[in-house]
Structure 1
Amino acid sequence: MPITERFTLNDGVRLRWLDNSPAAPEGLPILFSPGFSDFADDYIEMLEFMSPRRVVVVEVRGRGGSDAGEDLDYSAPQHAADLRAVVEDAGFDRFHVMTFSRGTTWGLEMAFGLRDRVASISIGDYWAKEHGVSEDLARGMLATRFRGKPVPERIPEHVLLSVFRESIEREFSSHLAAMPCPVLLAHGTEEGRLVDDAGIAEYRAARPDIEVVTIHGAAHDLFRLDRHAYPRAVLTFIANDCPGL
């Protein structure tokens, strides 16, 4: 099955995304909004696994092969606009949303703006909010690694600092509660996970009908031990809660 590299323009910003391009797609497509410093290529195995459902993985501005100009707007609303540009270019009418980590922030913001077109939302270990981050904490991230690579090799320093400089603390719980589609939350069990028991309780308070799936043995990176665990949970959730979609 060929993985297709595609490009979309959003107000002059060139965005790279990968499409699993199944020959005979089944069900509605999935837009996946990956983590803060992720490459779309990190998810090629996932794209293959989720076929024959069509799935696209987006590199928002400043990530991977997308434009990363120093003068660009790296706010969360602009990231959400990047995702929407891909949705429209891909020809999606109704579709499912799947997110991981901080990609949840712009994935949810995009979904809220297209509420009647979103068939389901799956959230991978993140809160229903935009988390404001100080510049000191952002600079500290430059000394860390993710999936074996130093963070500066995954995301340019000026992009990382701009994203967090423009971040503000915003709760999305009320917006999530108003979404007319089923919602899945996937979380890990090990130290380092972001959504703990208190976080799960907050989700349940906003969405009593939320489906919660535990990825046993995972910390924050739900893909580390078993690359298929979270995607499998999403496909099962869609099959059970969105029959025919």
Structure 2
Amino acid sequence: MIITWHILDERSRMGERVEPMTITSHFAHNNGVDIHYLDSGESGLLTPVLICPGLSETAAEYEELLAFLSPRRVVALSFRGRGQSATPESGYDLADHVSDIEAVVRDSGLDRFHLFAYSRGVSYALGYLQQHGGRVHSVILQDYPAQHKAMSEDWAEDYIHNYLIPYERTGHIRSEAVWGIQKESRQISFQYNIGQPVLVLRGLLEGSLLDEEGVQQFMRMAKNLAVEGFKHSGHDIRSAERDKLFETIQTFLSHHDA
């Protein structure tokens, strides 16, 4: 099923005459699990971008970035158990989430693209990059270390009752997915060499999930690496410094187009 709707970007909100951009909604089939993704469908010579959202985020939360990066084609997915994607009873470890990315890449017809990931989406993106690096032109990793983290026995209950419910995010990620992540996730530290250009984005305030040791790990993995700090941000850079974040992403992509 394909659903089409229009959104207005920041230029139109400022009074400039701009045609609203069209985003299409799709489902990629992944071994019985339907994975939802949004596609800006823009054409041109610019290299597309694939977005891997954070733990409880959905594709829809990146509509503003899709509009900002127009006319560049951008595809954003909702991982299993999130947004409009299906919620299987099991299948929540790293390999399962990597397979969600693979399904969206295949269904959308992406060939060569920039890979952007935020928070726990970084671990899923790094898992994909390790296996399918030939498709990825450059990498943007936002505020998360080179790890796929195992969760403690009390994590799911705490996350649901102290974050998802108070902040009204239970519609973004289902509780079945949260419990599945706790039960199935295994600790993995990524240590492979990344040949692509890499941009690491990190908050500099309390709450950031990427410390100096984590930055050093990325430096060991990637020779062509840049780090951008956000002095007014903790983990959620988009809420605190959206304009700088979007401009930094766009500048990096422009410098590293095919």
How far apart, CA to CA, are the structure 2 residues paired with 1:229 and 1:7?
32
How far apart are residue 88 of structure 1 and its match? 1.1
Q: Percent identity?
A: 32
How far apart, CA to CA, are the structure 1 residues paired with 2:87 and 2:34?
9
Kept after mapping to 2: 8 A contact 1:99/1:123: yes
Matched, 1:87 2:105: yes
Kept after mapping to 1: 8 A contact 2:197/2:222: no
Identify the residue that residue 29 of structure 1 maps to in structure 2. Answer: 48
How far apart are residue 74 of structure 1 and its match? 1.4
Matched, 1:41 2:60: yes
Identify the residue that residue 84 of structure 2 maps to in structure 1. Answer: 65
How far apart, CA to CA, are the structure 2 residues paired with 1:8 and 1:224?
29
Q: What are the ranges of 5 or more consecutive residues in structure 2 without an aligned counterpart?
A: 1-20
Q: Secondary structure at the match of 2:238?
A: coil
The structure-2 alpha-carbon separation of the partners of 1:4 and 1:148, relative to structure 1 and needing over 3 Å to count, comes to farther
How far apart, CA to CA, are the structure 1 residues paired with 2:232 and 2:207?
11
Pair member with larger Rg: 2
The TM-score, its normalising length taken from structure 2, stands at 0.86
Note the aligned Cα RMSD (angstroms): 1.8
Matches within 5 A, 1:130-149: 130-145=148-163, 149=167
What is the aligned residue count?
238
Which amino acid in the other structure matches residue 26 of structure 2? R
Identify the residue that residue 204 of structure 2 maps to in structure 1. Answer: 189
How far apart, CA to CA, are the structure 1 residues paired with 2:109 and 2:86?
22
Q: Secondary structure at the match of 1:201?
A: helix
Kept after mapping to 1: 8 A contact 2:196/2:222: no
Q: Secondary structure at the match of 1:187?
A: strand
How far apart are residue 146 of structure 1 and its match? 6.2
How far apart, CA to CA, are the structure 2 residues paired with 1:15 and 1:3?
16
Matches within 5 A, 1:47-196: 47-69=66-88, 71-145=89-163, 149-172=167-190, 174-175=191-192, 177=193, 179-196=194-211
Which amino acid in the other structure matches residue 102 of structure 2? R
Kept after mapping to 1: 8 A contact 2:78/2:85: yes
How far apart are residue 89 of structure 1 and its match? 1.0
Q: What are the ranges of 5 or more consecutive residues in structure 1 without an aligned counterpart?
A: none
Residues 58-109 of structure 1: per-residue CA shift (max 9 Å, x gap): 001100000013x231111111101111011111111110000001111111
Query: Once structures 1 and 2 are overlaid, which stretch shifts more, 60-69 or 197-206?
Result: 197-206
